[in-house]
Structure 1
């Protein structure tokens, strides 16, 4: 298992928009879920995740800070989930990572729920929800923050 912690001296911030299902978004917003699991993850460190709540909500609902990213086997990620508050069952993790030798757990903190969820079509031209995530530039991020 390998963990990459963020480098606090790194500037400017790296930001990504991430698609998450509504039931998991609710667990993140409540503080129950402190890890987001992915089969694939960014090659470059990400500091901030902007959360897009997928169908049927289809809104940008929050932003979180990334503490660290851990790559490991499904078993190792389940152990991490038990320690840090993964907010999902063992069965969900093993079903999600079925057929994968490893995956990623993104540890998040500083959850900021937007008072007014944002229609992404108001921020992006021809918005398509990312399958996993997409990098955002600083202009995209500013446009999102201006609408909160």
Structure 2
């Protein structure tokens, strides 16, 4: 027996110990126009009126019409929480001309959220009708849905993520 403690060996599946993913899983809708801006490297933050604070998030993306599909996963860093003017400044700095529209979106709030996009992966996904069939009904979220509170929906999201990745990228700048 060694006098020095041995490091615990993480599981081969990365589900325990230091390798465990601690990102909070959420489902949020996104307009395909903004999704395309992410892939073009022009959108590096997600701006929201309400969001989680102090934690990284795994965002399961439901692309709204005309796409109507659950099919992307975006890893987000902890949100920057600040006054609307400061959030609009981040928007302007990261994409010229975007600050005014973000400010208009959050101006009536005491605080708003700028969430850094770190990584994006696209999967074949699941269309809206299949989501409705598998879940016995599905309505795309207006805000965000914490998936740990909805195990059936989380299971579907994980099923989508288990498929082959179509494309992926790390978003620089954070």
Q: TM-score, normalised by structure 2?
A: 0.67
Aligned counterparts of 2:31 and 2:84: Cα–Cα separation in 1: 20
Q: Which residue of 2 aligns with 1:113?
A: 122
Against the structure 1 CA distance between its residues 81 and 140, is the aligned structure 2 distance closer, same or farther, given a 3 Å change threshold?
Answer: same
Structure 1 segment 93-104 matched on structure 2, within 5 A: 93-104=102-113
More strand by share: 1
After TM superposition, give the deviation of residue 80 of structure 1 in Å: 2.2
Aligned counterparts of 1:69 and 1:101: Cα–Cα separation in 2: 15
Against the structure 1 CA distance between its residues 61 and 30, is the aligned structure 2 distance closer, same or farther, given a 3 Å change threshold?
Answer: farther
Q: TM-score, normalised by structure 1?
A: 0.78
After TM superposition, give the deviation of residue 142 of structure 1 in Å: 2.1
Q: Which residue of 2 aligns with 1:145?
A: 161
Higher Rg: 2
Q: Which residue of 2 aligns with 1:15?
A: 25
Aligned counterparts of 1:12 and 1:36: Cα–Cα separation in 2: 20
Q: Which residue of 2 aligns with 1:4?
A: none
Runs of 5+ unmatched residues, structure 2: 1-17, 149-153, 165-174
Show structure 1 runs of 4+ deviating over 6 A.
none
Higher relative contact order (CA 8 A, sep 6+): 1
Runs of 5+ unmatched residues, structure 1: 1-7
Q: Which residue of 2 aligns with 1:67?
A: 77
